[in-house]
Amino acid sequence: MRRLSAGDLKDLNLLKHYRIIRKWACKNNGLTDADLELLIYLDCIDMFTINDFKMGTYSYSWDNRRWNKLIQNDWVVVWRHRNRTTQKYNIYKVSFKGKQLIQRIYRIMLGEDDIPTSERRNSIMKGKSYIDKVLQTSIYNVNKDKNR
C-alpha cells in the first residue's frame, strides 16, 4: 500500500469545511465539540477501557458528566462486562449510532454526501437564531463545493 504524502493529503482538502460539518453534527445530535472529537478518538482505538477514556479527555475541556452522558445517550456501549473474577473491568466501544455519525462526517468531508438541508433532518435550517442563519449559508456553500 502506498503511503500518502502531506501534499497528497492537502490536495484532498479534508479539513476545508471541518468546522461547519462539526457544527452540523454537534447541533443535530446534542453533542459538544469536545464530545464529538472524543468519540472520533475513541472510535480510532476501537475497544477501550474507562482509563483509555480518561487519557483521551486530557485534550479537551473538563466535563465530569461527559462519560455518563455518552453512555446514557447510547454513544458508547459496553462491549464486554466485567465479572469480578477473570474480567477485571468493562470494555467499551463506540456504539453503532456513533460509528454511523462518524462515517457520515467522513463522507461529507470527502464530498460523497451533502449536509442535509431540510428542516426535518437538520435543525439548523429552521433558522431560529442568528448563528443558525449564518450556518445555513455556510452549509449551502459546503454542499456546492464538491472540489473539496
Q: What are phi and psi of 64, to 5 degrees?
A: -70, -10
CATH number at residue 138: 1.10.10
Q: How far is the C-alpha of 22 from the C-alpha of 94, rounded, in Å?
A: 18
| 52: in domain | yes
- pLDDT per residue as tens, the chain (148 positions): 667 676 766 777 778 899 999 999 999 999 999 999 999 999 999 999 999 998 888 888 778 899 999 999 999 999 998 887 787 889 999 999 999 999 999 999 988 999 999 999 999 999 999 999 999 999 999 999 875 4
Please state the pTM of the whole predicted model. Answer: 0.87
pLDDT per position as a tens digit, 11-40: 777 788 999 999 999 999 999 999 999 999
Please check whether residue 1 lies inside any domain of the structure: no
Number of domains in the chain: 1
Q: In whole angstroms, give the CA distance from residue 63 to residue 98.
A: 19
C-alpha cell at 9: 493529503
Question: Is there a contact between 135 and 20 (Cβ–Cβ < 8 Å)?
Answer: yes
Task: Give the domain range for residue 61.
Answer: 6-144
Spell out a b/e string for 7-28, using b for 16 or more CB atoms within 10 Å of the CB, else e. eeeeeeeeebbeebbbbbbbeb
Output the CA angle 30-14-57, nearest 5 degrees. Answer: 45
* Residue 101 in domain: yes
